[in-house]
Structure 1
Amino acid sequence: MAQASDEILARLMGLHPKIIDLTLDRLEQLLAALDHPETRIPPAIHLAGTNGKGSTQAMIRAGLEAMGKSVHAYTSPHLARFHERIRLAGALISEPALSALLDECEAANGGANITFFEITTAAAFLAFSRTSADYTLLEVGLGGRLDATNVIDKPALSVLTPISIDHTQFLGETLPEIAGEKAGIIKRGVPVIVGPQEDAALEVIEARAARLGAPVFAFGQQWNVFEERGRLIYQDENGLLDLPLPNLPGPHQIMNAGAAIAALRTLGADEAACEAAVTRAQWPARMQRLRNGPLVDLAGTAELWLDGGHNPAGGDAVAATLARMPARPTHLICGMLNTKDVTGYMRPLVDKAASLYAVEIPGEPNTLPASETEAAARKAGFGTTACAADVATAIAAITAQDPAARILICGSLYLAGQVLKENG
């Protein structure tokens, strides 16, 4: 009987002493042993950026599928199950297929030094090369230039979502350095869709694109998007689209929708496909309202929301979303990783929430202790803070004080994944 994918994944975790070590050499050796599946995948749309990659990818997928196209998708990290990372022609990879692919990659690697992300990316390429589809959506794991997804020679399209300061220990301390790493996905002659960027990042992107003769379609130059009278207005040289607002909540999704539509129009999509992109996209843990499950039952008449944003730009996006929601006392349950700018994430949220309960992320070695998350909240300016043993305890404490509250569980995708598991 084949081993369960969870057992193989646990073993693969031990093949490299460091979780992250950016280089393409190890992966290129493994792909050669597997006869280069990355050269046989359907045309790729490659996405990098600090925030909005997942939402933008989900919208592009919804638009392509509305055109009748079949689409592979690769995303990370997963929330509840690893299978979420690999979508084959629209459907999540099955357990038998995943365990067989992981087995094959483990055997081909022969015990050599390789990171978890590299070997699982090889498994994704293998899956994509063996199942026919019209497009492959590839989301960068970290950075771009040395990311495992960047072994693709000639994608159909590159997409750069907003770039901000994050992962400084791997990508550099300054915005131009980080933008240089992300812009590493730009390939010679391949069109690049560029979402809203600070000038320092845009200069780096445009310089690399010019060097490689890659046509640039940038927000504010070749395309524009804005909200007007409760509608999404998109404009480029091919004309204007008047569309419904995105079904994914939050004003930042207007910009993500713009980048998705720009990508779709570059691929020849019509207005119906662009409308489907904004109305049919599904992307969990991005200001997601939880409507049933044990944690929702525990919350009673309180609203329960979930968001996995985790850097200062993510904090800004959550704050902007809360500002536009109907007035209701809002309480945060926050768990963070120790690698993040915690105070920077929290600062925009201070005047949007009545209290913050700090929790640890269960089963996550890099969780920030709840006491340190609480201290960061106080430093950011929160007046009412507390530590809780877990999310359920925090929900019970909030609803005991404020039964009609809005509760937002936030701060990390890893926490969001645990909540989705716990809530069934």
Structure 2
Amino acid sequence: MNIPAVSAAEQEIEKLMALHPKGFDLSLDRIRRLLEALDSPHRKLPPVIHIAGTNGKGSATAFCSALLEAVGLAVHVHTSPHLVNWHERYRIGVKGGRSRIVEDDMFAEALRRVAAANAGQTITVFEILTAVTFLLFSEQPADAVILEVGLGGRFDATNVVERPAVSVIMPISLDHQPYLGDRVELIAAEKAGIMKRGCPVVIGKQEYSPALDVLVESAERLSCPMAVYGQDFSAHEEFGRLIYQDEFGLADLPLPRLPGRHQIANAAAAIRAVKAAGFALTDAMIEKAMATVEWPGRLQRLTEGRLLELAPKDAEIWVDGGHNPGAGEVIAEAMAGLEERRARPLYLVTGMINTKDPVGYFRAFADIAEHVFTVPIRGSDAGLDPVALAESAFDAGLVAEPAGSVAEALAEIVRRQLPEAVPPRILIGGSLYLVGNVLADNGTPPK
């Protein structure tokens, strides 16, 4: 869709930002009050696939959407945060086609209605935006809703859905510690808060056994029908194919078009979740989904746009919004697994916000990155100073220096490029906010 340069929805959000706090205040009382004033739209939804996790929940959302659309169903999709435009958080289902980013006038009108129902009472902007999700999705016909959690789970504003078709918990690792706790089992307990008594639960691949133990115990306590990765379903790569297996049988499938070996486990969790939600899938439908799945800003290679002109000739530019140590590990593994990895030097152009663990993120790249340029994040008052971020990269064993912008970093990479040298691979990331800046500057926002 075409979003106006000055959109009506963004003007409404700016008004709300001036009235209400931008941050998180984890509680469900305010959102429940607001939804009641709106005549409880969260109780008028088609079957909901509710997805939480530290890493991989966005990919699982994308896979679930692609799977259901391969069936020919209309699927509403809620994600957060957005990359370039607020509208990206709301995709409206289309029967027999791909969901579409909400139209500006529809979004703006929903914002006005929610603000009017709130009547100036204390609330966060995220809670208002979540109420908009339920209002939009309850009033537009669809066959399913995919609802990605914003932060945590137990007290996330999305966690007012009383009977999800399935709750999905993707990999748990350390992130948002001030809100969720400083141990993986504490974070797992918060994520497990989206489980509802007697409702199906799918647990994706977990790296940490204490987190898995908490998730399994929570599901058992609530008498939830449960499917656990590695126990009840699994997937692996074999001869360039994805081999998926669960209690229903085995499927020989094409690899997903999303790059990175970690996407095999993410795809498996989504396949099992869609089945657990009660939707029938054939191998042909799953094949179509693997070929059509899209997830902007996550290991996305830029193949067009203005930034390519600023990089060395024939350089590869990748963007990824992963920002914690767990994400760093899977991104570094994906970069290391690309063809010609040894021939192409890898440069990182990184910006991060001050709630993250930059040393833990950078450590994953210590053996594969040639050089790091640290950059500011435009439009964020929480961005880490590039000098301090470069010091964190140095502490992780990398050679790093600050740059004034992504464009300045690319110019420096060009300057370093010898005439006969192999074109480099450049990974721009460390923050979804930075990726949003890059996609906007490049002229390639999500569609």
- Shorter-chain TM-score bucket reads over 0.9
The superposition leaves residues 35-64 of structure 1 with CA deviations (integer Å, 9 ceiling, x where unpaired) of 101000111000000001111111111110
Mapped to 1, the partners of 2:211 and 2:229 lie a distance apart of: 13
Structure 1: runs of 5 or more not aligned: none
**Secondary structure at the counterpart of residue 221 of structure 1:** coil
AA partner of residue 337 (structure 2): R
3-state SS of 2:130 partner: helix
- Pair 1:39 & 2:55 matched: no
Describe the superposition over 1:199-227 as per-residue Cα deviations: whole angstroms up to 9, x where unpaired: 11111111111111101100011101111
CA–CA distance in 2 between the matches of 1:412 and 1:239?
Answer: 39
CA-to-partner distance for each residue in 1:15-54, whole Å, 9 max, x for gaps? 3346111001111111011110100011100000000111
Give SS of 1:407's match: strand
Q: Does 2:316 match 1:307?
A: no
The reply to whether residue 276 of structure 1 matches residue 295 of structure 2 is no
- 1:69-84 correspondence to structure 2 within 5 Å: 69-84=73-88
- The range that moved more, 110-119 or 400-409, is 400-409
By how many angstroms is 1:402 displaced? 2.1
3-state SS in 2 of match to 1:149: coil
- 2:32 maps to a residue whose letter is E
Secondary structure, counterpart of 2:159 in structure 1:
helix
Partner of 1:358: 374
Map of 1:26 onto structure 2: 30
Please give the alpha-carbon distance, in whole angstroms, between the structure 2 residues aligned to 1:133 and 1:411.
35
2:250 equivalent to 1:240: yes
Task: Name the TM-score, length of structure 1 as normaliser.
Answer: 0.98
Shifted more, 111-120 versus 8-17: the winner is: 8-17
Q: What letter corresponds to residue 336 of structure 1 in structure 2? A: M
Partner in structure 2 of residue 256 of structure 1:
266
Aligned residue number for residue 379 of structure 1 = 395
Counterpart Cα distance in 2 of 1:402 and 1:26? 55
Matched, 1:162 2:162: no
Q: Secondary structure at the match of 2:383?
A: coil
3-state SS of paired residue (1:349): coil
Cross-structure match for 2:433 = 414
Give the residue type in structure 2 aligned to 1:331.
Y
Q: 1:14: Cα distance to partner?
A: 3.1
Q: Which residue does the alignment assign to 2:144?
A: 135
Is residue 2:104 matched to residue 1:95? Answer: yes
Q: 1:264 offset after TM fit, Å?
A: 2.5
Aligned-partner Cα distance in 2 for 1:259–1:393 = 40
Which aligned pairs between 1:279-358 and structure 2 lie closer than 5 A? Answer: 279-299=291-311, 300-325=313-338, 326-327=340-341, 328-358=344-374
Matched, 1:56 2:69: no
What amino acid is aligned across from residue 71 of structure 2 in structure 1? M
Aligned to 2:193: 184
CA contact (8 A) 2:8 2:108 kept: yes
TM-score, length basis structure 2: 0.93
Output the CA distance in 2 between the equivalents of 1:154 and 1:338. Answer: 36
TM alignment of 1:112-127, pairs within 5 A? 112-127=121-136
Amino acid paired to 2:436: G
Residue 360 of structure 1 contacts residue 368 of structure 1 at CA under 8 Å; is this kept in 2?
Answer: yes
Q: How far did residue 3 of structure 1 move? A: 7.8
Percent sequence identity is 49
SS in 1 for 2:301: strand
Rounded to whole Å, the distance in 2 between the matches of 1:413 and 1:70 is 27
Please tell me whether the aligned partners of residues 15 and 115 of structure 1 are also in contact (alpha carbons under 8 angstroms).
no
User: Is the contact between residue 308 and residue 411 of structure 1 (CA under 8 Å) also seen in structure 2?
Assistant: yes
Q: Secondary structure at the match of 1:148?
A: coil
Q: Partners of 2:198 and 2:286 in 1: how far apart?
A: 25
Aligned residue in 2 for 1:6? 10
Counterpart amino acid of residue 153 in structure 2: G
Q: Deviations over 1:92-120 (max 9, x none)?
A: 10000000000111111111111111000
Please identify, of 237-246 and 135-144, the stretch whose mean Cα deviation from structure 2 is larger: 237-246
Give the drift of 1:301: 2.2
CA drift at 1:410: 1.1
Q: Distance in 2 between matches of 1:302 and 1:222?
A: 42
State the SS of the aligned residue for 1:137.
strand
Q: Which moved more, 1:17-26 or 1:238-247?
A: 17-26
Paired AA for residue 239 in structure 1: G
- Whole-Å separation in 1 of the counterparts to 2:7 and 2:187: 40
Corresponding residue number in structure 2 for 1:227: 237
- 8 Å CA contact retained: 1:264, 1:274: no
Q: Is the 8 A contact 2:394 2:400 kept in 1?
A: yes
1:67 aligned residue (42, 64, 71): 71
Structure 2 residue aligned with 1:199: 209
1:189 and 1:417 mapped to 2: Cα distance? 39
SS of residue in 2 equivalent to 1:224: strand
Paired amino acid for 1:68: G
The CA distance in 2 between the partners of 1:399 and 1:80, in whole Å, is 27
- Asked if residue 174 in structure 1 is aligned to residue 183 in structure 2, the reply is yes
Go from structure 1 to structure 2 and tell me whether the alpha carbon gap of 1:18 and 1:103 turns closer, same or farther (over 3 Å shift).
closer
**Matched residue type, 1:144:** G
Counterpart of 1:151 in 2: which secondary structure? coil
- Say which SS state the counterpart of residue 375 (structure 1) adopts: helix
Tell me, in whole angstroms, the C-alpha distance in 2 between the residues paired with 1:18 and 1:303.
36
Write the distance in 1 (CA, Å) between the matches of 2:120 and 2:111: 13
Rounded to whole Å, the distance in 1 between the matches of 2:30 and 2:379 is: 28
Q: Which amino acid aligns with 1:125?
A: F
Query: Residue 15 of structure 1 contacts residue 112 of structure 1 at CA under 8 Å; is this kept in 2?
Result: no
- Code of the residue aligned with 2:36 in structure 1: it is A
